[in-house]
Amino acid sequence: MPFIPHTDQDIQEMLDTIGVKNIETLFDEIPDELRPAPLDEIPSGVSEMVLTREMAERAKADGGMLSFIGAGAYEHHIPAAVWDIAARGEFYTAYTPYQAEASQGTLQLIYEYQSMMASLMAMDISNASLYDGATALAEAILMAVRLAKKKGKSIILMPKTIHPYYRDTVKTIVSQQAIELLDVPYSKSSGQIDLKALDSLYSQDAAALVIPQPNFFGVLEEVDALTDWAHEKNILSIAVVNPTAMALLKPPGQWGNQGVDIACGEGQPLGVPVSSGGPYYGFLCCKKAHVRQMPGRIVGRTVDSDGKTGFVLTLQAREQHIRRAKATSNICTNQGLMVTASTIYMSLLGPQGLRDVALTSHENAKQLKAALTAISGIEQVFKSPFFNELVLRISKPVDDVLAALASQHIQGGFALQAVYPELGNCLLICATETKTKEDISRLANAMQEICSNSSRFAASI
């Protein structure tokens, strides 16, 4: 039964009332070529049992892979307790409740999340989360433009070392506004933002500089110098960071002499499993002075009339249910369930545990580099410090190498050619704490074979 409350008789009565013969007539004004063609190519359905069997068979094709792909989503060990607790009925909702203050437990959880995230980033304030890392960066840029209050257009300095998908998303979101995104090139040798080029790109219209850490190539940027550069030029600085890395590296609130103005990024590494396209979540933190321009919800702690601690949604005058068209953002919710998992994840690991995860990931990435660059025909492209991933140049076509590895149930990394044509034979490869010595040896042995044995390699393509 479809969940439509109208009976055929109801529908006929409504049609008679407005003097229309049938429902189809209501769509007459839409030209025929825009109407959907008949869907008779789609076969009739199969039973749930048959479908489940079919999907299980197909899942085998890409299941059980040993993955060395990072490139913005990171496979970390998630303690079993995380999703066991997150999936409890009390938490299992993705939504901020409408009558928010009636749900004190949810608000307390978000408050704890904000406290942890602000602490991890060394920033004053965190919001209750956003949609994902890429949109969090777009929101951070819109926020910076509001803060900068430029007359006319605002220029955002966007290094090419930022995740290319983030750059695309930002372009989509800000392109209809008086905002110009200016590419900042990277050094071909270090893989870092080219500081000299940055100097030459500066103009009076510049509103903000975005600083990735680590950058898309896994390389660590010179964040202190970049943050200070931005402040000297009197423009805002926006950090876009891997949160796990911030447990090991200097957090954005401490970069340079004053710290960055806004820090954002993808929250997935903190307890959210990698999956194709999410759901993930974005985080956004800022200095207290900027909070009125922050997008999204913010939970605050207060006391009630009896002096008991309670939690409320605060600073709501920024939001669209009050400010309407002048709201800081049309983001009016948060990724509640993902944030729940992250908060439990961070609680279970604690600062030291998170640091251990980051350090082990880094150690494994170093081992990965050593094992792979020992193979003739493979070299590290950027000679710079890195966190948990790095770029390798391979003497064989990367797509073929990846296909050969896939046939051995190894996902060997992210081919850079599609997004960086100048890095045609380059592979972005990652190791987290989930990779063992044996895993790395298995990859290295397979690579060794692929790179040396041209006949076998030729056969596999």
Partner 1 sequence: MSNIPKELNYTKTHEWIRKDGDLLVVGITDHAQTMLGDLVYVELTGLESHVENGQECGVLESVKAAADIYSPVAGEVVEVNETVVENPQLINDDPYGRGWLLRIRPFDKDMPGLLSSDDYSKVVASEAH
- Minimum separation from the CB atom of position 315 to partner 1 (A): 8
- Residue placing its CB nearer to partner 1 in the complex, 205 or 399: 205
- Minimum separation from the CB atom of position 149 to partner 1 (A): 8
- Minimum separation from the CB atom of position 222 to partner 1 (A): 34
- Residue placing its CB nearer to partner 1 in the complex, 60 or 326: 326
Considering only 178, 322, 370, 374, the residue that binds partner 1 (CB under 8 A) is: 322
Q: What is the DSSP string of 305-345?
A: TTS-EEEEE--GGGSHHHHGGGSS-S-----HHHHHHHHHH
Answer positive or negative: Cα dihedral of 281, 282, 287, 288: negative
- Residue placing its CB nearer to partner 1 in the complex, 148 or 372: 148
- Minimum separation from the CB atom of position 322 to partner 1 (A): 6
Does residue 272 sit in helix, strand or coil?
Answer: coil
- Residue placing its CB nearer to partner 1 in the complex, 171 or 323: 323
Token pair belonging to 205: 């219209």
Q: What is the DSSP string of 93-108?
A: --S--SSGGG-HHHHH
- Residue placing its CB nearer to partner 1 in the complex, 60 or 151: 151
- Minimum separation from the CB atom of position 242 to partner 1 (A): 34
- Minimum separation from the CB atom of position 235 to partner 1 (A): 18
Q: Which residue has the tokens 């960071």?
A: 241
- Residue placing its CB nearer to partner 1 in the complex, 320 or 434: 320
Considering only 6, 58, 171, 323, the residue that binds partner 1 (CB under 8 A) is: 323
- Residue placing its CB nearer to partner 1 in the complex, 26 or 317: 317
- Minimum separation from the CB atom of position 354 to partner 1 (A): 35
- Residue placing its CB nearer to partner 1 in the complex, 328 or 364: 328
- Minimum separation from the CB atom of position 328 to partner 1 (A): 11
- Our finding on whether 383 is near partner 1 (CB under 8 A) is no
Q: 278, 257, 276, 248: which is closest to 266 by C-alpha?
A: 278
Q: Do residues 433 and 76 touch, judged by C-beta distance below 8 A?
A: yes
- Our finding on whether 461 is near partner 1 (CB under 8 A) is no
- Minimum separation from the CB atom of position 3 to partner 1 (A): 37
- Residue placing its CB nearer to partner 1 in the complex, 293 or 408: 293
Alpha carbon distance 104, 86 (integer Å): 16
- Residue placing its CB nearer to partner 1 in the complex, 59 or 317: 317
The vertex-148 CA angle with 146 and 151, nearest 5°, equals: 90
- Minimum separation from the CB atom of position 310 to partner 1 (A): 15
Does residue 284 sit in helix, strand or coil?
Answer: strand
Answer positive or negative: Cα dihedral of 96, 98, 104, 108: positive
- Minimum separation from the CB atom of position 305 to partner 1 (A): 15
Burial class (CB in 10 A: 0-12, 13-18, 19+), 6: exposed
Alpha carbon distance 91, 72 (integer Å): 27
Considering only 33-41, 167-175, 243-251, 322-330, which stretch makes contact with partner 1 by CB under 8 A?
A: 322-330
Within 13 Å and on the Cβ side, how many CA atoms surround 308? 3
Residues in contact with 267: Cβ distance below 8 Å, sequence separation at least 6, in sequence order? 129, 133, 243, 280, 281, 282, 283, 335, 338, 339, 342
- What's the one-letter identity of residue 140? A
Alpha carbon distance 437, 435 (integer Å): 7
SS (H, E, C) 206-217: EEEEEEEECCCC
Strands in 106-204 per DSSP E: 125-126, 154-159, 179-184
- By CB under 8 A, the residues from 261 to 320 that bind partner 1 are 292, 317
- Residue placing its CB nearer to partner 1 in the complex, 188 or 323: 323
Considering only 26-34, 119-127, 155-163, 321-329, which stretch makes contact with partner 1 by CB under 8 A?
A: 321-329
Q: Do residues 273 and 281 touch, judged by C-beta distance below 8 A?
A: no
- Our finding on whether 326 is near partner 1 (CB under 8 A) is yes
Alpha carbon distance 338, 204 (integer Å): 40
Count of residues interacting with partner 1 (CB under 8 A): 5
Binding residues for partner 1 (CB under 8 A): 292, 317, 322-323, 326
